[in-house]
Amino acid sequence: MPKSKSRSDVAFQIGTGAFGFVLIALVCGIGVILALESLPSIQKFGLGFWRTEIWDPVAGEFGALPFIWGTLYSSVLALLIATPIALGIAIFISELCPAVLRQPLVFVTELLAAIPSIVYGLWGIFVLVPAVRALETSLPDSLRKLPLFSGPPLGLGMLSAALILAIMVIPFISSISREVLKSVPPAQREGAYALGATRFEAIRAAVFYARTGIIGAVMLGFGRALGETMAVTMVIGNNPKVSVSLFAPQYTMAAVVANEFAEAADRLYLSALVEIGLVLFIITLIINSFSRLLIWSMARTEKIVAEPVETEAAA
């Protein structure tokens, strides 16, 4: 190989690699910058920040417990609603539906994911919240005494947030589960059918085979739900109180940053909000990495990814 050519190839590798490095630097940069900006809050409050329930910026009291509670509670509720539906959709599209319907259904579920968060929020305020309020008012008094349904039926609150989050994460979970199910070797189902399995039993075998990947898909949906901002901000009621009630207006980490950051005047207030953002970043980072790991490990055992042909031999 002539020397100039190999030198050009090295330059190409370094040149393009530098752009790739930008992505790595950005991820690290986000973590470092947010950590630096939240130092005042971290130094002042320490870990107590996450155990304190009082959020009163005017009095200079900052406790983030209501936000982390609201974020986790709304996301878990959303997943409880979304997971069975999303898996049903994934199974229907990949295993059951006639070939003609497949593409249109995939397109329609993708559309559900493509609608902007703000549009869901607008719809939430004017359509979903009144509907939820009507549902809450019609609930019999005997049930209303339970802590789960306590509080005035405002419509704005945890239930609306969980419903809108569920709608938004369904397409994510279903499209990844579909990919995962696609990677299950047909022999799994054929084997089951050959043993006289019904459709359900054959699909159960396939789903069992794909379980790691499906858990990964659900976790990825969880990561999405945790960070979802606009739609939740618009329907959850924005009240920093820890409550198990589905009817109670609550608050999430993303929502408090969205609502208060532009108006936060003093340094400590800003820093406290950045710290909430930092923790949100770390949680989603961990959850996303772990779920990708699960999906990858599943894909790796199933599909031997076609490596691009090594071209060095040409020399």
Partner 1 sequence: MTATGRRKLLSSLFVGFCAGAVLLALIPLALVLFFVISQGVLSLNLAFFTHMPTPVGEAGGGMANSIVGTLILSGLAALMAVPIGVISGIYMSEYAGSRFAAAVRFAADTLNGVPSIVIGLFAYVVAVLPFKQFSAFAGGFALGLMMIPIIARTTEELLLLVPGTMREGALALGATRARAVFSVVLPAALPGIVTGVVLALARIAGETAPLLFTAFNNRFFSTSLKQPISSLTVQVYTYATGPYEDWHRQAWAGALVLVAIVLVCSLLARLATRRLERMHARG
Site for partner 1 in 258-297 (CB under 8 A): 258, 261-262, 273-274, 277, 280-281, 284-285, 288-289, 292
Question: What's the CA gap between 240 and 66, in Å, rounded?
Answer: 5
Pick the stretch among 132-140, 144-152, 243-251, 255-263 that binds partner 1 (CB under 8 A): 255-263
Name the residue among 176, 181, 153, 270 with its Cα closest to residue 224: 176
Pick the stretch among 3-11, 50-58, 143-151, 243-251 that binds partner 1 (CB under 8 A): 3-11
Pick the stretch among 10-18, 44-52, 53-61, 147-155 that binds partner 1 (CB under 8 A): 10-18
Q: Which residue has the tokens 């949680």?
A: 283
Q: Which of 37, 52, 241, 290 binds partner 1 (CB under 8 A)?
A: 37
Pick the stretch among 22-30, 44-52, 151-159, 178-186 that binds partner 1 (CB under 8 A): 22-30
Quick count: other Cβ atoms within 10 Å of Cβ 12? 10
Q: Give 180 or 274: the residue with its C-beta nearer to partner 1.
A: 274
148 binds partner 1 (CB under 8 A): no
Q: Which of 53, 190, 201, 266 binds partner 1 (CB under 8 A)?
A: 201
Helix (H, G, I), strand (E, B), or coil: what is residue 237? strand
Name the residue among 233, 295, 222 with its Cα closest to residue 262: 233
Q: Minimum Å distance from CB 60 to partner 1?
A: 21
The residues near 42 (Cβ < 8 Å, ≥ 6 apart) are: 49, 275
5 binds partner 1 (CB under 8 A): yes
For residue 62, list its beta bridge partners. Answer: 55
Question: What's the CA gap between 88 and 221, in Å, rounded?
Answer: 15
DSSP string, 207-242: HHHTHHHHHHHHHHHHHHHHH--HHHHHHSB-----
Strand ranges for the chain from DSSP E: 55-56, 61-62
Q: Which of 13, 137, 297, 301 binds partner 1 (CB under 8 A)?
A: 13
42 binds partner 1 (CB under 8 A): no
Which pair of structure tokens corresponds to residue 90? 């994934």
Q: Which of 39, 54, 76, 119 binds partner 1 (CB under 8 A)?
A: 119
Site for partner 1 in 202-231 (CB under 8 A): 203, 220, 223-224, 226-230
